[in-house]
Structure 1
Amino acid sequence: MRVLLVTGRLAYPVVKEAAASASTVAVDVIMADVGVAAFVTPKLLEPLIADKKDDYDLILVTGLCGSDFSKLEEKLGVKIRLGPKHAYDIPLALKYADKIEFSHKISACQLLSDVKRDSALKDFERIEADAEPAFMLKGVKVGGGSTMKVMAEVVDATRLSDVDLIRKIDSYASADIIDLGIPLESSPDAVRHAVKVARSATFKPISVDTLIPEYLEAGIEAGANLILSLEGSNMERIAPLVAKKDIPVVVIPDDESLGSLIRNVERARELGVKHILADPVLSPIGHGVAEAVCRYRDFHRLYPDVPIFFGAGNVTELMDADSIGVNAMLAGIAMEVGASVLFTTEASQKSAGGAEELKKACMMMALAKHRKGSPKDLGIDLLVIKEKRPRRDIVEPGTLVEAKKHKIQLDPRGSFNIWIDGGRIYAKNGDITVVGTDAESILHTIVDRGLVSLLDHAGYLQAELKKAELAIRFHRTYLQDDKF
């Protein structure tokens, strides 16, 4: 396949360098008489390629172009499509040049990103569909060859109103299993009610999380699908009931030792429990996390067929670091020690969105394991703040003017109060409140309705609305005029 890359004067050396790395297609680079490649138009491009159209199968202009080249393509009889927005994506685009159909409207980098992500998701679904589990938990495969699942805890579930409990369960859309954390000062009736509400709110498996026998019995009676947890203090009373109902259980040690866990697992088996998730207990950093990981590894070597429970939330909740990278690393460790279910909470603001992060991390690890490689270049990732490769924006600076502030005037059309709630942004001016999910559409609505009259004010609103949008994306709180 023969490809021609069209660029401008400024980007020509960079594009030339990127094109030189192509190995699957024959590629040339041509420079249009324009400084910035994004300003290439069909009128400018036609005389540049008219006598070369028969030499190429595909002509790629930068994905930053706003022009429509479809009519010129039809006139010249050669494909003219949008390439990547940035030069660093050119090698990837050329790699797929003879495999996919590039677009007149969508940049090649976005198109390839979608293709890779869709391929990754299909691979993940195929891995899970073909897997043989250790057991099924209300339609969810657990252990065996199945992928790691995420269990998300609703902390102090019996203290919540029905509305708040349902809202919290709904927020765990990415989780595979919903865990109801039961506080010590609860009651059997409260446990039964919480399980009933949870079962009405989701088709996902529901677990009851407590050591108190009366609460566990109430959870089983109400239809819980999993019991968390069995250990020495409740084993003799609860294990026979679990065995009779054939309910899976999480078994924990009495003293966080491997020997204690083994004794409890064996005792649960003696009492007829068939489906066990063994929890060697993941200690927080600073409290023996390395030793805990070794415990997981050693248990898995001794009991390779017993699914393992991995308490990732024990680490994320007790660490002042962004949870995204922490969850990715924990999922990788969990995969290597043979874990089947990863447990997390969103008990604090810093861990908000943790279930979604952990689920994506589990998908990444499943793909990496299947492809026998590292969790990179998979098509899905957890890169939210940082980027994989640097982008080089090549512009002509023109005349430089030093920036400085001037005194802000109050807008005669009034001021705005901005806040976020439930994943939406609200901007109130007088008796009108504009609501939406992205800064641009809210600002456009404000302008269209004549609610702003000063450029300063419009610029301020755009900055604040964008902060609000990012706060939602990053699961942060937002306070108007506060630093982000």
Structure 2
Amino acid sequence: MTGRLAEVALRTNAAQAATSHGVAHSVQVAPITVAALITPKWLTRHLDVPSEATDVILPGYCDSALDDAVDPESPRTTWRMRLAEIAGLAPEKIVCGPNDCRDLDAWLGGKIREVDLTDHSIEIIAEINHAPRLSIDEVVRIAENLRADGADRIDFGCDPSRRCDRVGDYVKALIAAGHRVSIDTFDPHETRAAVDVGASLVLSVNSSNRESAADWGCEVVAIPDTPDDLDSLESTIEFLSRHNVPMRLDPILEPIGFGFGASLLRYVETRRRYPELAMMMGIGNLTELTDVDSAGVNMLLLALCEEFGVGSVLTTQVINWARSSIKECDIARRMVHYSLKEGVPPKRVSDQLISLRDPKLRPYSPEALESLASGIRDNNYRIIAQDGVVHLISAGVHLCGDEPFAMMSELLSMPQSSNVDVSHAFYLGFELAKAKIAAQLGKQYEQDQALQWGHLTVEEERHRIPRQSRHRKD
């Protein structure tokens, strides 16, 4: 069942869905313009179910009220039960479909099966750069935010140009706040102060400071003396092994332009040489030093780590385009773990890292769009964005363009614009701006809903114009 405006679109999508799933179907077009305005109570006067029907699919917007009591004094009878009586079917055969008829095929086939992204196998170490330049309270506050985004360990990044005599106080405060802490320094004095109060990992150790590592009593990250010198890494590994120092290996990821590809091969070689030892990858050299949004880069690097058996990553989020790297890594590590565990590509697993564009577009066909434009008889404004074009539709109005200012100027020059007051003009301007962004980027635009930016999406409250204006659908 649907309303008149969605008839053409529903008939098209229902026919395609019926063919895909091998079912017979019929469409009832209710005597109402907009399907979203259909209520279960209203349906008790208008539902007309063919005798051969086995199931009734109502518009998705009915869902919130379908199991409400018909009479508050008699809560055992719901609108679903009342509609089932009218249809001559069991109550469970009265169901609500998707809000948008273009999603009908996916809805009939069941939504994408539940994907459990609880598990992961990669530790995220979040570095606070130049931490001694901040107050202890600032460091703890930043650490709390990093943990909320998915960090498992906080790396206290020391200042190479100046020794921090209070490093112990910082680390003690972080541990008191419940954090696992690593210390990032080559200064033995800073390292000793940190491990004495509970730091459990030292970044990093090579031939310059490995002698001291034997006395720290904690795990260290072993690195080569220079990134391309795996022999120096081997020497440090042998020394640490002789002194029973627990370690993880980091052959050093190089930035693009400085041997990025070769450094990846060194991870492969290190894993081949030392299959039993833990490894770490510092991925900030790529995300922070590449002019590109960080989500895709983090996803690929976490995938490499999962495949190479690199059990931890060190990253930071200083540069603005990488400001959400910790959260991105948390999402990515779950996706790649699921992908390798299930033996499937990480597609249709999660849309949280799809920000610039959307996973799927649901454009209207030209026929459905034309039917919608010609079928509207009220003064409510509908906004549609697809194929790089914004459509503004109302009774006797169908404006198309990609520039909201020009569209509003044209609208206000038309006789039909007499119903556009100040508040409604603001609403239209706000929605047209969103529609322009969607059209420009190739995103799905839904009027009165937030654009989807993956894990960065901020849902919007439904915008309502005072009812006396009656200039838009409620």
In structure 2, the residue matched to 1:120 is 116
Given residue 25 of structure 2, which amino acid in structure 1 is its aligned partner? D
Where does 1:165-314 land on structure 2 (aligned, <5 Å)? 165-172=139-146, 173=148, 174-201=150-177, 203-237=178-212, 239-242=213-216, 245=217, 247-257=218-228, 258-273=230-245, 275-314=246-285
Aligned: 1:30 with 2:34: no
Contact 2:14–2:105 under 8 Å retained in 1: no
Given residue 405 of structure 1, which amino acid in structure 2 is its aligned partner? S
What's the offset of the Cα at 1:229?
0.6
Structure 1 pair 475/84, CA: closer, same or farther in 2 (3 Å)? closer
Aligned residues: 379
Match of 1:28, SS state, is coil
Match of 1:21, SS state, is helix
Describe the superposition over 1:171-197 as per-residue Cα deviations: whole angstroms up to 9, x where unpaired: 102111111100123435221122112
The counterpart of 1:405, out of the listed 403, 409, 424, is 409
Match of 2:13, SS state, is helix
What's the offset of the Cα at 1:474?
4.4
Given residue 108 of structure 2, which amino acid in structure 1 is its aligned partner? L
Larger Rg: 2
Given residue 187 of structure 2, which amino acid in structure 1 is its aligned partner? I
Structure 1 pair 120/210, CA: closer, same or farther in 2 (3 Å)? same
2:276 and 2:195 mapped to 1: Cα distance?
A: 25
The counterpart of 1:375, out of the listed 346, 352, 357, is 346
What's the offset of the Cα at 1:370?
0.7
In structure 2, the residue matched to 1:345 is 316
1:465 and 1:37 mapped to 2: Cα distance?
A: 24
Describe the superposition over 1:119-150 as per-residue Cα deviations: whole angstroms up to 9, x where unpaired: 413xx34xx6xxxxxxxxxxxxxxxxxx0111
Given residue 138 of structure 2, which amino acid in structure 1 is its aligned partner? D
In structure 2, the residue matched to 1:59 is 56
Describe the superposition over 1:406-458 as per-residue Cα deviations: whole angstroms up to 9, x where unpaired: 9x9xxxxxxxxxxxxxxxxxxxxxxxxxxxxxxxxxxxxxxxxxxx9755456
Where does 1:422-461 land on structure 2 (aligned, <5 Å)? 454-456=423-425
- Quote the sequence identity (%): 26
Contact 2:302–2:329 under 8 Å retained in 1: yes
Contact 1:32–1:48 under 8 Å retained in 2: no
Describe the superposition over 1:324-356 as per-residue Cα deviations: whole angstroms up to 9, x where unpaired: 111111111222222110111011222111101
What's the offset of the Cα at 1:461?
7.6
1:344 and 1:327 mapped to 2: Cα distance?
A: 10
What's the offset of the Cα at 1:50?
3.4
Match of 1:9, SS state, is helix
Q: Flag structure 1 segments of 5+ consecutive residues without an equivalent.
A: 97-111, 129-146, 409-451, 477-484
TM-score normalised by length of structure 2: 0.71
Structure 1 pair 80/312, CA: closer, same or farther in 2 (3 Å)? same
Contact 2:303–2:336 under 8 Å retained in 1: yes
CA RMSD after TM alignment: 3.5
> Which 10-residue stretch deviates more, 254-263 or 320-329?
254-263
Match of 2:161, SS state, is coil
Contact 2:132–2:164 under 8 Å retained in 1: no
Contact 2:351–2:359 under 8 Å retained in 1: no
In structure 1, the residue matched to 2:403 is none
The counterpart of 1:152, out of the listed 121, 126, 135, is 126
1:304 and 1:92 mapped to 2: Cα distance?
A: 44
What's the offset of the Cα at 1:63?
2.4
Given residue 260 of structure 1, which amino acid in structure 2 is its aligned partner? S
Q: Flag structure 2 segments of 5+ consecutive residues without an equivalent.
A: 68-77, 375-395, 400-406, 413-420, 438-449, 459-474
Aligned: 1:82 with 2:96: yes
Match of 1:382, SS state, is coil
Structure 1 pair 11/90, CA: closer, same or farther in 2 (3 Å)? closer
Given residue 136 of structure 2, which amino acid in structure 1 is its aligned partner? D
Contact 1:9–1:35 under 8 Å retained in 2: no
1:353 and 1:210 mapped to 2: Cα distance?
A: 25
2:349 and 2:284 mapped to 1: Cα distance?
A: 25
